[in-house]
A and B are shown apart, each in its own frame.
Chain A
Amino acid sequence: MKRRIPLIICFAIGILMIIQFMIPHPISREFGSTVNKWYIVLAAFALVLAIGNLIRHHGTKIRRKKTNWPYSIVTLTSMVAMSIIGFAGGVDPKSLYQTIYLNVLAPLGSTMFALLAYYMASAAYRSFRARSLEATLLLAAAFIVMIGFMPFGQYISPRLPAFAEWIMKVPNMASQRGIMFGVAFGSIATALKIILGIERSWLGGKK
């Protein structure tokens, strides 16, 4: 029962979601919309669990005074403060909640990703070597696309941006499509295995 009931629910929901996609009837559409809403609710509950885990992790770090524990206070305090600001002050475009989003969260997020530009370039410099024809093609394609999409590329040759675009639209598209077919069939096969109960690793090891 502890494994069979979840398997039956997974099977039933999986099959019903496929059927509702195939039948464009208002009842089917209404069912699909309701189940989608339930999914959103369950995702929100999963977030509650995740927040609980975060609080427990940082709480333990503070209590046991583990390495870098003062930073855990920053995490917990900022999380609580942001939640209170959102609940108490509202989420209007001019609210403090949105101001913090624009001036704290957005700069932090985009700077984190911008930092990756340096590490990607540094990793590429160390690992990209034109040792074979395949490696040379990879290197050349990356170089042309990078230079071609920069305003600077236009000054090297006015045809470079068009060439970079051709690489994206023709050989890149061809290989991406080939990979996409493989990914699609692999994902469909895995999804079918899950629905049919052949793949059960999500149930965990315990009985």
Chain B
Amino acid sequence: MNHDPWIWIGAFLTLMIFSFLYKDNPFYKFAEHLFVGVANGYYIVFYWQNALMPNLFEPLGAGNLVYLVPLLLGLMYFARFIPKIGWLVRIPIGFMIGWGAGISIPAYFQAFVLRQLQGTIITPQSFENTIDGVWAVVILIGVICTLVYFYFSKEHKGILKPVSRLGIMFIMIGFGASFGYTVMARVSLLIGRIQFLLGPWLGLID
């Protein structure tokens, strides 16, 4: 058994969270509230060290007055506490929303349209290995059928009916696979916690 107090703290906190599997109880509530508090304290220091210091106070300290703009914009957030000038809070929000919208258009187009198209299009290189070529054709058919399923501007009759039906089958396999993959990711975290309890804490496994 380990004698490091930090290992004991980690082990007890892990057990406190797991106690929720029985029912909501004071131990779980304590750990939950501690998590919120410590996480917020962590991010206060993290943002100070990694966001405000290098991106605002250091450039301002070096005499770069352009950085007064984000300082003023940031201070405008607090205008919401003064009803007369409360509308000023919309200015930093407008900046952030405009930034997010502007940066997402080319980024989404590049990552989710062009790159995905590039991966879906069949070229002679796709058939360098016959079996890979067959799977490339299956992917192309799957993408087209999925898109047809989500095409609601025309009633799914005639040729669209079997194509959209095939599309929903691909979608169901995709949802099932994603679900299984997500569960496995959580299970690996669970295994990690059990290994921590049995290994570093109790010393029952290496």
Contacts and interface: CB of A to CB of B under 8 A. Distances in A.
Interface of A: 2-3, 5-7, 9-18, 21-22, 34-35, 37-49, 51, 54, 68, 71-72, 74-83, 85-87, 91, 97, 99-105, 107-118, 120-121, 124, 133-135, 137-146, 149-150, 166-185, 187-188, 190-192, 194-195, 202-204, 206
A17 B13 contact: no
Contacts of A176: 174, 178
A76 to B, nearest CB: 7
B95 to A, nearest CB: 6
B63 interface: no
A184 B179 CA distance: 22
A115 B192 contact: no
A45 to B, nearest CB: 3
Nearest to A173: B139
Interface of B: 6-7, 9-11, 13-14, 17-18, 20-21, 29-49, 51-52, 55-56, 66-67, 69-71, 73-75, 77-78, 80, 86-87, 90-109, 111-113, 116, 119-120, 135, 138-147, 149-150, 167-184, 186-187, 189-190, 192-193, 196
Nearest to A104: B38
Contacts of B169: 133-134, 137
A44 B6 contact: no
A191 B174 contact: no
Interface class of chain A by DSSP? helix
Contacts of B30: 71, 74
B70 A37 contact: yes
6 contacts: A45-B74, A45-B75, A79-B40, A111-B18, A114-B193, A170-B139
Contact of A101 (B37, B42, B135): B42
A104 B77 contact: no
Contacts of A144: 180
A79 B101 contact: no
Q: What 3 A-B pairs have minimum CB-CB distances, sorted nearest first?
A: A174-B142, A82-B41, A178-B146
Contacts, number: 382
Given A49-B78, A72-B33, A171-B138, A138 B99 contact: no
A172 B186 contact: no
Contacts of B43: 47
B41 A111 contact: no
A60 to B, nearest CB: 15
A171 B142 contact: yes
B48 A17 contact: no
B178 A172 contact: yes
A93 to B, nearest CB: 13
A175 B142 contact: yes
A75 B51 CA distance: 24
A199 to B, nearest CB: 9
Given A79-B40, A202-B94, 10 more contacts: A39-B99, A51-B40, A54-B40, A76-B37, A115-B20, A118-B190, A141-B174, A172-B173, A174-B145, A178-B170
